[in-house]
Chain A
Amino acid sequence: MSSREALRRAAVLACAVLLVRLFAPWFCGLEGDAWYRGDPRVQRALADDLIAFEFRDDVERTATTNRFAGEWALVTHQMIALGLAQLCLEHSEWRGAYAPQVTKAARKSFLPEMRGFGTRAWYGEDALASLQGGHGHAYLAYSALAIGMARLVDPAFPAEAAASHDALIAAYERRLLASSTGLIETYPNEAYPTDVAAVAAAIAVHGRATGVDHHRVLQHWVSRVRAVQIDPASGLVFQRMGAIRGEPHDAPRGSGTGLAAYYAGFVDRALAESLAKGLFAHESTFFGFGAIREYAAGHRGGGDIDSGPVILGVSVAATGFSLAPARALGRRDSFERIYRTTALFGLPVGHGDRSRFATGGPIGNALLLAFLTSGSEVPR
């Protein structure tokens, strides 16, 4: 091959690489800007598809014994409620249509069968039947946060459900104030800073919905997160810790930090920004696409129920979770890069006025609705 021919081939290859470098992120990020700006067209399309899912779920719930229940179901209904409630806060004119749906999804996440996994983990002790006790039951904060958002946007929220919610929040407040580490247990001997962030978010939103002053417990939680739960070297929160002494039981990880940053946004913007700073320091980029590394430097591990698959060091969950703080805290470049990755593997499809991410399933789409519309819930 002559040197001229080699040069010609190199030039053609360089042009092809340049084209792919420009085309791939442009094509996958077509709707990223619309999501970031809060374009009603994309928001409504996904929201309406999830409302349709809730209607199908209502029918199947009464018609079959194969109920959609358990940890995934709780999170699915919770995230649908959060996403729709955030839309109600962002577009007040949508409240009439969406607020009753927020209440419906939030109340489903509060059903006894949704928390059956937690009751079994605590050897038969139901979270709502043991409010005077000292066990954390932090997993139910996910539902409590959804109920709080429903109370915030739906004036017709039923009083008896509100009373149960008040009692749960009071129990969480008492348990959290009694903890010197700012941690309460999710399951016996297992505390997850992310779940406790959901507890704090639930308390904060309860305060906004009812006018009850929770300032003291929230300040206590914020100070304990900064002092105990964040790894100073990486800026990520430890995934799992001991509730009493606050010793790490797992590595500082991206998935836990991403979700904790979203929940912290309901409570304290400065803490959410601190967590986001650690999170986005772990962003890997390639060809205009972004993803979040799961483990802090010096730590290794595989994928699990929290992270989803970990591929080349980046995790599905950490990447998806990071969309929320990226949008809520104005990190536009990171949001666009990470949205491109989400769209590349999530496969957005539209049918009529509705759309969904084809590979997401109900839980993936519910999570993405909450994260892609995050922002209106964060105090300025």
Chain B
Amino acid sequence: MTLHRRFRALWIVVAYLFGRELLGWMTAQRSLLTPGGGLDLPLAALTLVVLVLRLASVFVVPGVVLVRLLRRRIPPD
């Protein structure tokens, strides 16, 4: 298994943290929704990606990391 595949779950966290900072910087300049009902499409796409990465970081990554650690500690029959 290559190194980048072994740490795939952690790459999700790194991508999330980077995306969050980028989103924070962008939302300081402009707004996702405008009072006229318009949608800033690039910002909306980035928001969606960062939200998916956040959900994965919070709900999937910890479980996956734990499963891998336990599998190493408790070898199968």
**A interface, CB within 8 angstroms of B:** 2, 4-5, 8, 12-13, 15-17, 19-20, 23-24, 27-28, 68-73, 344-345, 347, 349-351, 356, 358-359, 361-363
Chain A residues in 8 Å Cβ range of B20? 347, 349, 358
Contact partner, B74, options A8, A69, A347, Cβ 8 Å? A8
Extra 16 A-B pairs, beta carbons < 8 Å, given A15-B66, A19-B62, A19-B63: A2-B77, A4-B77, A5-B76, A8-B76, A12-B67, A12-B74, A16-B64, A20-B63, A23-B62, A24-B59, A70-B35, A71-B35, A347-B23, A349-B24, A358-B23, A358-B24
Q: Is the interface of B mostly helix, strand, loop or mixed?
A: helix
- A13 with B23: CB separation less than 8 A: no
Interface residues on B, range: 20 to 34
Contact between B59 and A20, CB atoms less than 8 A apart = yes
Contact A28 B58 (CB under 8 A): yes
**Cross-chain contact B27 with A361 (CB below 8 angstroms):** yes
Closest chain-A Cβ to B68's Cβ sits at a distance in Å of 10
| B32 located at the interface, meaning its Cβ lies under 8 Å from any Cβ of chain A in the complex | yes
Q: Which residues 49-70 of B sit at the A interface, judged by CB distance below 8 A?
A: 50-51, 54-55, 58-60, 62-64, 66-67, 70
Closest chain B residue, CB of each to CB of A362:
B31
- B31 CB to closest chain A CB (Å) equals 4
Which A residue's beta carbon lies closest to that of B57?
Answer: A27
Contact of A5 with B23 in the complex, beta carbons under 8 Å = no
Contact between A356 and B58, CB atoms less than 8 A apart = no
